[in-house]
Structure 1
């Protein structure tokens, strides 16, 4: 049996409407430029507006990103070494008032090689 994917869910509190669109666009840039050992390594990534951001249970979060990796090693690389992710973090840092990041092992089966 293959190991599960690792999913990273990050939510941001981005108060300005124009910044929400800019953050989502920057995720698109990161998605197309992130590499490890000269090759893409992120299995999938999507970023979007939180649809219920005005509800109490959304706790003020306005942007959500879900990134899927093949391994925790790739997650560690993303957090500590990935130049594209570093650029994204620097961009978002001045536009957010809060964030939360969680990781979990996906029960979806791995793709066949």
Structure 2
């Protein structure tokens, strides 16, 4: 598989955004936990780098960095809560859904 040279991009000072490629024709994947794990395994990102790429960097890539992507006053509260001992588990445990709760727009789903 050919993956983006993410490690080189980050090491050169670039900002990487991660997302799913929910494309029914070739890649039907909506699982961000899996994308974060792939980035750690194949693109050599640390779990913290992959989480940043999937949150704040992705928001900025979409021009929404002032509205979403991080937990700050005035931003929309979109977040997932995970039942894991450390954020590092998101980078390596992709076989199960570890989300315990999801909030979108400040409302628990």
Question: What TM-score does the superposition give when structure 2 sets the normalisation length?
Answer: 0.26
Larger RCO, structures 1/2 (Cα 8 Å, 6+ apart): 1
Question: What TM-score does the superposition give when structure 1 sets the normalisation length?
Answer: 0.25
